[in-house]
Amino acid sequence: MRVAILTDIHGNRPAFEAALAAAEVAGVDELWCLGDLVGYGAEPDACIVLAREHAVVNLAGNHDLAVCGQISLEEFSRGAALAATWTRDNVDPDNLRWLGELEPQAVEDGIGLYHASPRDPVWEYVLSTLLAELCLDAQRQRICFIGHSHVALSFTRLEGAPATGETRAGGADIELSKGEWLINPGSVGQPRDGDPRAAWLLFDTATSTARYYRTDYDIASAQAAIRAAGLPDSLAERLQYGQ
């Protein structure tokens, strides 16, 4: 089975639509979404509808939980808190109800899925080999996918060896038949690795391989929606820089 794994869409409809179209061209069978459908961007309803229509798995991210009132906004930056409050006030009630039913972790076909990490599915940013080592100790599945950090990367640990990790550019392939793995496809709606294109990953369960993708999208349209909503301009500006 060929699975498209996406995360951190953040209300960015143009990026989500572009990633979905690219995944369809790549011939995927299923879509797994690892959370943060909303937050930062100004088209939350469109992104939730797309996820409800296309994704077999949908997790809750910290921004989703904040919009639903399940976690406090005190942990958020000013821009993130303003965006969460705006989203809560403007999202369709049925979509808000659906979002509130999601969980931040799942297991699908023996693969661990977490919004943030196996140790803390909501909040932990796994950006170092030290944290990856701790997560690999904690995870029950050999292969786990995570989001939250907005950086495309992977960590692996072979038997008897310490964990290693690296960031991943579009087009990078990884072979997953050996060792333990912790893999982040990068962010669809707000990449923070210097590449502004929407990031996602294609996972082939039959061959135990994965490929990282970057997809161009209409950044100006996403920026215009943020500005039209009256959200902080910094949330629009950062999209063109991948930061």
* Mean pLDDT on 102-127: 97
Q: Give the rounded percent of residues in the chain with a pLDDT score beyond 70.
A: 100
Q: Which pLDDT band holds residue 213 (cuts at 50, 70, 90)?
A: very high
How many domains, in total, are found in the chain? 1
pLDDT higher than 90, residue 28: yes
In one letter, which amino acid is 80?
Answer: A
* Mean pLDDT on 212-238: 98
pLDDT higher than 90, residue 26: yes
* Mean pLDDT on 36-63: 98
- pLDDT, tens only, 89-104: 999 999 999 999 999 9
Domain extent at residue 147: 2-241
In one letter, which amino acid is 50?
Answer: L
Q: Which pLDDT band holds residue 205 (cuts at 50, 70, 90)?
A: very high
Q: Which pLDDT band holds residue 225 (cuts at 50, 70, 90)?
A: very high
User: What pTM was computed for the model?
Assistant: 0.96
Query: What pLDDT was estimated at residue 75?
Result: 86
Tell me, what CATH number does 39's domain have?
3.60.21.10
* Mean pLDDT on 34-59: 98
* Mean pLDDT on 30-36: 98
* Mean pLDDT on 170-192: 97
* Mean pLDDT on 122-132: 97
HEC assignment per residue over the chain: CEEEEECCCCCCHHHHHHHHHHHHHCCCCEEEECCCCCCCCCCHHHHHHHHHHHCCEECCCHHHHHHCCCCCHHHCCHHHHHHHHHHHHHCCHHHHHHHHCCCCEEEECCEEEECCCCCCCCCCCCCCHHHHHHHHHHCCCCEEECCCCCCEEEEEECCCCCCEEEECCCCCEEECCCCEEEEEECCCCCCCCCCCCEEEEEEECCCCEEEEEEECCCHHHHHHHHHHCCCCHHHHHHHHHCC
